[in-house]
Structure formats: C-alpha cells, structure tokens
Structure 1
Amino acid sequence: MYVIIETGGKQYRVKEGDVVNVEKLDAAVGQVLDLNQVLLVEKDGNVTVGAPVVAGVTVVAKVLEQGKGDKVIAFRYKPKKHVRVKKGHRQPYTKLSIETINA
C-alpha cells in the first residue's frame, strides 16, 4: 500500500516505514503530524484518485530532524570586466518518518 501526499507544494510517494525529506515544516523534533493532503491511494492493486484529495485518508508522520541540505553554489561572472558574484544556499528541510496510513 502506498499513497501520494502533498506538502510544501511538492508531491511525495510514501508507504509505511519510509523516511522522507520534505520542505521545512513548523514542527518540533519528535512531534507527530497528521498529513491530510492525500492525492492518491493504492491498496491491493486498487487505485483511488482524489478530486483534489481523497476523503477520510490521513498519514501519520513523526518528525525526526530539522536540517539543511547540501550547499548549492550560484556563480556569475562577466569575462574581462572583473565581475565575479558567488552566492551559496542551503535549503532547509524536515525529515519525516511515515508511521501509519489511516485509510
């Protein structure tokens, strides 16, 4: 059984026991979240697609960690003009452990 959930403007395919990094959520480490934006449910070969969400289905997830991803370097230059601009960015994320799927 797996579901497709939406959080942070992105969609993730998860099943029980998965660990997934999602866009940063305002939640403390160890907190249990109920994710109710379930777009699709697959159970025993039967697929249920929501319009836009599947009613009555929630995903229980536990927050494992709040962190930052790898650094991404954005470098811009103009040749022969001594223009060099270097910027770095680390995207924050929340690591979730999918505990149960209530369907």
Structure 2
Amino acid sequence: MYAIVESGGKQYRVEEGTKITVEKLTVDAGAEVALEKVLLVGENTDLKVGSPYVDGAKVTCEVVEHLRGPKVVVFHKWRRNDSHKKTGHRQDLTTLKIKSITA
C-alpha cells in the first residue's frame, strides 16, 4: 500500500518502512507525527483519491533526525556597474520514517 501526502507545500509518495526528507517540522527527534493531508491512498486497482484530501486517512511517521540541506549559492551581478552580491542558503530539513498508512 502506498500514499501521496502533502507536507511543506510539496507532495511525497510514501510506503511503509521508507524514509523521506521534508521541510523542518517543529517536533523533537524520536517523536511520532501524523500526516493528515493525504491526497491518495491504496494499491494498484484499489485507489482512493481525495478532493483535495481523503477523509479519515492518515500516515503515521517517526522523526528520525533534523538536518540541513546542501548549500545553494545565490549570485546577483549588475552589468556595467562593476558590482555583485553573493549569498548562500541552507534549508532546514527533517527526516521521517513511515510507520503505518491507514485509510
């Protein structure tokens, strides 16, 4: 069984036992989180599609760790002015392990 869930404005395809990396959640490591925004749940021919979410469906996850993503360099150059600006950004992320999918 698999599901498509929404977290942080992005959609993820999850199955039991897999790990996903989502935008930072304000939960301690080792705690359980229930993702309620389930867009689709089921197997090959037995699918439940929500509009926008499936009623009564949820995905239970365990928070494995909090980490930071790779550095993204933001470089702005203004032509004919001999000037530029260089900044960087690292996104805070959370790794989740999928424990169960209920529909």
Alignment-mate amino acid for residue 27 of structure 2? A
Rounded Cα–Cα distance in structure 1 between residues aligned with 2:8 and 2:79 = 39
CA distance in 1: counterparts of 2:51 and 2:78, whole angstroms:
49
Amino acid at match of 1:23: E
Aligned-pair distance for 1:80? 4.7
Q: Which moved further from structure 2: 36-45 or 18-27? A: 36-45
Residue number in structure 2 paired with 1:36: 36
Unpaired runs of 5+ in structure 1? none
**1:49 is the counterpart of 2:49:** yes
Residues 81-101 of structure 1: per-residue CA shift (max 9 Å, x gap): 320210000011111000111
Whether 1:14 aligns to 2:14 is yes
Q: Give every structure 1 segment of 4 or more consecutive aligned residues whose post-TM-superposition deviation is greater than 6 Å.
A: none
SS in structure 2 at match of 1:53: coil
How large is the Cα RMSD of the aligned pairs? Answer: 1.2
Which residue of structure 2 lines up, in the alignment, with residue 92 of structure 1? 92
- Give the TM-score, by structure 2 length: 0.92
**Aligned-pair CA distance for 1:79:** 4.1
Question: Number of residues paired by the alignment?
Answer: 103
1:11 deviation in Å? Answer: 0.8
TM-score, scaled to structure 1 = 0.92
Matched, 1:63 2:63: yes
Secondary structure of residue in 1 paired with 2:86 = strand
CA distance in 1, matches of 2:93, 2:68: 6
The percent identity for this pair of structures is 44
Q: 1:44: Cα distance to partner?
A: 4.4
C-alpha distance in 1, partners of 2:52/2:26? 24
